[in-house]
Chain A
């Protein structure tokens, strides 16, 4: 006991000369790297993203190449159905019009990941800044800002999307705008609520007494402290956004053929699942793995950003 105590003491003495000040973010990165589930998820997600980006190079087929000779064809290694005569090299089989499913899943990943990430990032950025500002300033400004949120909430989502489509024509970027414009409202509410409670804490008052400006207080003290609930909400938002996209596409408001997304592939696959289960299984598998990864990364981030949780 004493021995370890004295070595620890000597160590701190030594460290005292050379210890560099570390910030929360450096510590958080170190803790995130130690979280195996989160790191594995980052690697898997990275691989899926890389595959999506490199999709044209990975497959001999084009995503819109229709071949009526090999309609609804099982993959070559599929043990429960006879493989197609002409289709030995379709790894995931083909769809109802004979397009290669593997390359379509990867192209679907492009759309789904992009919508999921971009729309979530947009909602995160607007929601956190808006909510933190409203909560920190409080009073009448807070009331006004939150009433704006309430009014936006009351707009029917589908109606809103249809109007956007009519006004600006159907367009991929509009999808991000439409989804992001709706998702940030909940984020703003969550952040505002957290900010209101954190604002009461003494350390905020201490920062004010220390001459720290309001913007720095929001950036350095409030946002890092609301990160826990925000990260959890983000990990719920990404899957939600991906599903919303497939719903819009189903209504004909989202992605149009021959482009595709996971949501579209899954809903097509679901119609054929009795005769051609692979058409459901592969896109669903990719989507499930991706969502799991987001959840693990979210948990990892939340723990990494909370020093009390070590």
Chain B
């Protein structure tokens, strides 16, 4: 057995008392196997491996036994642990930017590590570094070695981290949420690299993730954790197809699936509420002192109509302009061109005061529930705020009554009005955010990644809550998410954005069953599903490389190369939407 952990306990000493983060956990990782550890936030899955590696925070204590190839390493001297951690057991983390030194080039960092710790001559180390960067599929490795971490995209940085972690040929790679911060298409590429490592280099992998889908496609053995304890463990197929524990069953049931379950039927009966016509928003990107700023076209000509009672899903990867679109619709950002027509009024031409008067009709729910609430205001005050600002003349009693009623409606105890956001969980805070948006009884709510920061089980509850409110009030929703499977649960119509433009828009049923645009297909195929057999059988439509820079005018023509003019400054052709089937629009592509 490569690594075997027996009865591991981790305690943290905190001012609020002792926290028992990991409780009597035992596990084994065989040579060149992949163990998936899955659990929601706070399940102790990360602390388990940090403890095993001797990397606990200063207030943590670990007890039990951790054996690497039969030798006890828990509590071993730092020096021995360091040599082991540097070469035989390595780790990669969620955020690669914080793990790389910002002032050194990628190449220098890798060479430094090899030269210092492995006494390798610098020339040889550089050659080895290039080799490994090639292996993790970094295009133009030689050039990349001269770049600084901030010049690389998140996916590229994670590849560099994998390269650094595997350059010494470790037996075990511990990957702690390695793809959580990445887009689905990039996630698929990183997972492919992990599989490659396991197959070719016989590296065992401990893959820690909250995402059952990621685990399903990669792991051989699975361990489900909750509140620091192992709930269930076994081979991947047993866990996914015959889960024994109610918690595992609940997790699997809560997982949104991109290819399963009914799609909400289209509802085109309502009146048009919002009409967006050829909306454009751009930001100047300074290019340095005295140089002309470049124009970043975040939203570049988007048109659509939203009907009463309809949910429009907006899907796209980071940098596609989905959040900018939301803010421009809500007039939180000025737009350059185009119109946002709300019930016949063109909001983009109105004054601030006029827009303020209209705000009662459209509200927004944000991604990060904690960040979107003022930490110094009790939640009752936060919920009441739009009410006071938008419906003047209500008495204190009326406001209090409405706040209580709304809290009750979104599943919060009305007695909590004096609680502060930090005293509530993420899901509860998101309910506060929803209550704040709904209290003025808007006719449209934009949810900007409203469930992305939440655990799957909480995600399912919030989605159900939104559906309930919609059924009751006939509200229209614009539901923005990077996650196609969540959007599938509530969107009637779906729009896919790529670099500020719509590449495909159709009723949800049509889009998921019959995607026409290559980008939509790649996105759909990249979404991991909690179904190991399907994952193994799946041949992914992998996009190669990174999302191109939105500053590059050629980027929008990635899927229409035939019309591309090879000059980064030239004005390019914009792919037009074509209605292939009534109601199904697809952008031109090769």
Contact = CB atoms under 8 A, between A and B. Distances in A.
Interface string B373-398: 11111101110111001100000000
With a 10 A CB-CB cut-off, give which of B377, B378, B433 has the most chain A CB atoms.
Answer: B377
Given A206-B364, A209-B332, A21 B375 contact: no
Contact of B332 (A205, A221, A306): A205
Given A19-B418, A21-B380, A225-B376, A210 B366 contact: no
B248 interface: no
A210 B362 CA distance: 9
Contacts of B415: 12-13, 15-16, 19
A209 B359 contact: yes
B372 A21 contact: no
Nearest to B378: A22
A19 B404 CA distance: 10
Interface stretch (A211-219, A241-249, A275-283): A211-219
B366 A24 contact: no
Interface in B322-344: 327, 330, 332
Interface in B313-365: 327, 330, 332, 356, 359-360, 363-364
B18 interface: no
Nearest to B368: A202
B406 to A, nearest CB: 13
A153 interface: no
A203 interface: yes
Interface string A204-235: 01111111110010001100110000000000
A21 B420 contact: no
Contacts of A221: 374, 377
A21 B390 contact: no
Contacts of B433: 206
A307 interface: yes
With a 10 A CB-CB cut-off, give which of A13, A16, A205, A206 has the most chain B CB atoms.
Answer: A206
Contact of A307 (B364, B367, B376, B400): B376
Nearest to B413: A12
Given A21-B378, A23-B381, A209-B364, A203 B332 contact: no
A194 to B, nearest CB: 13
B436 A211 contact: no
B403 interface: yes
A59 B414 CA distance: 59
B417 A206 contact: no
A253 to B, nearest CB: 42
A211 B361 CA distance: 11
Nearest to A223: B376
Given A206-B366, A212-B389, A213-B389, A24 B378 contact: yes
A140 interface: no
10 contacts: A24-B381, A202-B367, A202-B371, A203-B382, A207-B374, A210-B359, A211-B360, A220-B374, A220-B385, A307-B376
Nearest 8 pairs between A and B by C-beta? A210-B386, A16-B415, A202-B372, A12-B415, A211-B359, A211-B389, A307-B420, A211-B390
Given A24-B376, A24-B377, A209-B364, 16 more contacts: A12-B416, A16-B413, A21-B417, A23-B381, A24-B378, A203-B372, A205-B366, A207-B374, A209-B330, A211-B386, A213-B356, A220-B377, A220-B385, A224-B377, A307-B376, A308-B420
